[in-house]
């Protein structure tokens, strides 16, 4: 296995990434991957090395295959979306003799991301810069204008028409719909108020325009009477605040809560456990985090996407300039319905109803556009 070098930014290394705590499986996989590669952690406050190199981006290191870099806008550990990104890219690189990959953690200060990506491009070392964040397409388009040979592979964002950039965005309307549907089914069976909760770390366009309305849309597909109590922690790490918000929701009748609040998720799940409520998890399989409390997992398969698209690049087949939107029918968004903890925690009646929805989405019989339009075949 090739050596993986991970560069950490010194700022914000103790904070949790915005997507939430990862499932143990990805942390173990990431640890095993890096350990087997013999990697160490190198601290670099600027987030990039060799910024003074005169090598031209796109030429690579002669005779040494492709040199790739994963820029993480945050930190890897504790962020499942970035853990999956690293695992997927590394798997593809391992299959390409002579190619290498470095992981650079950019920290949580978004104002610094462009300068750090600029440094990576200016170094001339990396033929491909890989990242994942809705803010990345605009940032990388600016950098691309200065370095016309630099290529970018970006996940969780959209930009079409730039020949240096390929983007892949997940249909989070479908993901949130799946979460809202199972949450409403579980709440309905529990009885009482038809009320769900959603705790976010912060407000951002995808949350306000796609995830929150998708979650409500899924719930109201069960019963039009459902409402969603939406509250914001204000950061991605305050478990105490997350617990406080969730406990308040539960007192006011919320039966099931969806936390998308990074480290604050732990406070939400503890409050749910203490208050007799349930939790639906987002992005990764969360059943093992609190068996019996977590009753649904609407996931993204970023490890698969990162592997497949990186492999296409290494084969010279990645269609730069294209922007893809992928969902359940494409196999990149899904609901985990075969986990023993899910089967034990959720009644057969509810599981059958959820399975009917999941099957329709997987087969493409039902597709949700990001504006909420339901397309049935």
pLDDT computed for residue 242 by the predictor: 98
pLDDT-derived band at 148 (thresholds 50, 70, 90) equals very high
The predicted structure's pLDDT at residue 64: 57
The residue written with tokens 């719909």 in the block is 177
Give per-residue pLDDT as tens, 239-264. Answer: 999 999 999 999 999 999 999 998 89
What is the pLDDT at residue 4? 52
Nearest to 335 by CA among 171, 168, 175: 175
Residue at token pair 């007799």? 276
Lowest mean pLDDT, pick from 11-15, 34-38, 131-135: 11-15
The span from the CA of 284 to the CA of 37, in Å, is: 25
Q: What percent of the chain has pLDDT over 90?
A: 79
The answer to whether residue 333 is domain-embedded is no
Same domain, 145 and 25: yes
Query: Is 313 a domain residue?
Result: yes
Residue 35 has pLDDT above 90, yes or no: no
Q: How confident is the model at residue 125 (pLDDT cuts 50, 70, 90)?
A: very high
Can you give the C-alpha Rg of the chain in angstroms? 21
Cα–Cα distance, 131 to 129 (Å, whole number) = 7
Spatial neighbors of 26 by CB under 8 A, at least 6 apart, are 80, 83, 84, 87, 284, 303
pLDDT category of residue 28 using cuts at 50, 70 and 90: very low
Is the same domain home to 290 and 354?
Answer: yes
Residues 197 and 89 in one domain: no
Q: For residue range 169-189, what is the model confidence (pLDDT) as tens digits?
A: 999 999 999 999 999 999 999
Assess whether 132 and 11 both reside in one domain. Answer: yes
Distances (CA, A) of 96 to 36, 224, 319: 17, 52, 19
Contact 213, 181 (CB under 8 A): no
Q: Categorize the per-residue pLDDT at 106 as very low, low, confident or very high, splitting at 50, 70 and 90.
A: very high
Per-residue pLDDT tens for 127-147? 999 999 999 999 999 999 999
Residue 196 forms beta bridges with which residues? Answer: 228, 256
pLDDT band for position 8 (cuts 50, 70, 90): low
Structurally, the chain folds into a number of domains equal to: 2
Asked whether residue 336 is assigned to any structural domain, the reply reads no
> pLDDT averaged over the chain?
87
Going by pLDDT thresholds of 50, 70 and 90, the confidence category of residue 53 is very low
16 pLDDT higher than 70: no
Confidence label for 368 from pLDDT (cuts 50, 70 and 90): very high
Mean pLDDT, residues 203-226 taken together? 97
Give the tens place of pLDDT for each residue, 72-86: 998 998 788 999 999
- For residue 251, the model assigns a pLDDT of 98
Same domain, 154 and 36: yes
For residue 230, give the nearest of 214, 222, 240 by alpha carbon.
214
Q: What is the pTM of this model?
A: 0.84
Let me know whether 82 and 178 are in one domain.
Answer: no
166 shares a domain with 176: no
| pLDDT at 275 (0 to 100) | 98
> Is 256 found in the same domain as 136?
no
23 with 158, same domain: the answer is: yes
In a domain, 332, yes or no: no
Q: Does the structure show a pLDDT above 70 at 376?
A: yes
Q: In what order do the strands lie in the sheet with 333-335?
A: 227-232, 195-200, 256-260, 278-283, 294-300, 333-335
Give the pLDDT score at 57: 31
Does one domain contain both 35 and 164?
yes
Helices 212-222 and 172-190, axial angle in degrees (round to 10): 40
Q: What is the pLDDT of residue 7?
A: 54
Residue 97 falls within a domain, yes or no? yes
- What percentage of the chain has pLDDT greater than the value 70? 83
CA distance 251 to 277: 10
- 294-319 in b/e burial notation, b at 16+ Cβ within 10 A? bbbbbbbbbbebbbbbbbebbeeebe
Terminal C-alpha separation, the chain: 45
Domain harbouring 219, CATH code: 3.40.50.2300
For helices 348-363 and 172-190, the axis angle rounded to 10 degrees is 160
Q: Is residue 31 part of a domain?
A: yes
The mean per-residue pLDDT over the stretch 358-371 comes to: 96
In this predicted structure, what is the pLDDT of residue 108?
A: 84
Q: Does some domain include residue 337?
A: no
Query: Confidence band (pLDDT; 50, 70, 90) for 20?
Result: very low
pLDDT digits (tens, 9 = 90+) for 320-339: 999 999 999 999 999 999 99
- SS3 for the chain is CCCEEEEECCCCCCCCCCCCCCCHHHHHHHHHHHHHHCCCEEECCCCCCCCCCCCCCCCCCCCCCCEEEEEECCCCCCCHHHHHHHHHHHHHHHCCCCCEEEEEECCCCHHHHHHHHHHHHHHCCCCEEEEECCCHHHHHHHHHHHCCCCEEEEECCCCCCCCCEEEEEECHHHHHHHHHHHHHHHHHHHCCCCEEEEEECCCCHHHHHHHHHHHHHHHHHHCCCCEEEEEECCCCCCHHHHHHHHHHHHHCCCCEEEEECHHHHHHHHHHHHHHCCEEEEEECCCHHHCECCEEEEEEECHHHHHHHHHHHHHCCCCCCCCEEEECCCCCCEEECCCCHHHHHHCCHHHHHHHHHHHHHHHHCCEEECCCCCEEEC
Of 108, 134, 106, which is closest to residue 120 (Cα–Cα)? 106
Q: pLDDT higher for 353 or 36?
A: 353
Q: What's the pLDDT tens digit per position in 265-305?
A: 999 999 999 999 999 999 999 999 999 999 999 999 999 99
On whether both 67 and 206 belong to a single domain, the answer is no
Whether residue 8 is contained in a domain is answered as yes
Q: How far apart are CA 188 and CA 222, in angstroms?
A: 9
Q: Do 189 and 254 fall within a single domain?
A: yes
Residue 108 token pair: 């949580």
Residue 226 sits in which domain range? Answer: 172-299+347-376
């Amino acid at each position: 296995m090739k050596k993986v070098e991970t560069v950490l930014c010194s700022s914000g290394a103790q904070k949790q990434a915005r997507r939430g705590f990862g499932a143990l499986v990805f942390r173990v996989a990431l640890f095993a991957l890096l350990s087997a590669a013999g990697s160490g952690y190198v601290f670099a406050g600027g987030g990039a090395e060799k910024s003074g190199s005169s090598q031209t981006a796109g030429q690579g290191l002669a005779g040494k295959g492709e040199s790739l870099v994963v820029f993480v806008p945050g930190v890897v550990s504790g962020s499942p979306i970035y853990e999956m990104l690293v695992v997927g890219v590394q798997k593809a690189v391992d299959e390409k003799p002579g190619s290498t990959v470095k992981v650079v953690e950019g920290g949580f200060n978004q104002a610094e991301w462009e300068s750090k990506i600029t440094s990576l491009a200016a170094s001339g070392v990396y033929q491909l810069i890989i990242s994942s964040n809705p803010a990345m397409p605009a940032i990388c388009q600016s950098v691309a204008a200065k370095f016309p040979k630099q290529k970018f592979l970006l996940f969780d964002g959209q930009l079409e028409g730039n020949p240096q950039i390929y983007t892949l965005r997940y249909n989070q309307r479908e993901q949130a719909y799946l979460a809202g549907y199972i949450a409403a089914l579980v709440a309905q069976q529990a009885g009482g108020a038809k009320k769900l909760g959603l705790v976010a770390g912060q407000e951002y366009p995808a949350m306000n325009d796609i995830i929150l309305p998708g979650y409500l849309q899924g719930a109201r597909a069960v019963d039009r009477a459902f409402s969603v109590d939406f509250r914001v922690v204000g950061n991605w790490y305050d478990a105490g605040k997350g617990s406080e918000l969730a406990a308040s929701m539960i007192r006011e009748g919320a039966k099931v809560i969806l936390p998308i609040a990074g480290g604050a998720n732990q406070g939400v799940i503890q409050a749910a456990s203490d208050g007799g409520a349930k939790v639906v998890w987002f992005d990764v399989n969360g059943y093992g985090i609190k068996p019996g409390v977590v009753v649904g997992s609407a996931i993204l398969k970023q490890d698969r996407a990162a592997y497949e698209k990186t492999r296409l690049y290494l084969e010279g087949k990645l269609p730069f300039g294209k922007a893809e939107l992928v969902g359940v029918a494409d196999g990149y968004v899904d609901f985990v319905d075969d986990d023993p903890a899910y089967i034990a925690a959720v009644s057969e009646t509810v599981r059958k109803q959820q399975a009917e929805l999941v099957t329709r989405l997987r087969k493409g019989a039902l597709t949700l556009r990001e504006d909420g339009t339901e397309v049935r075949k």
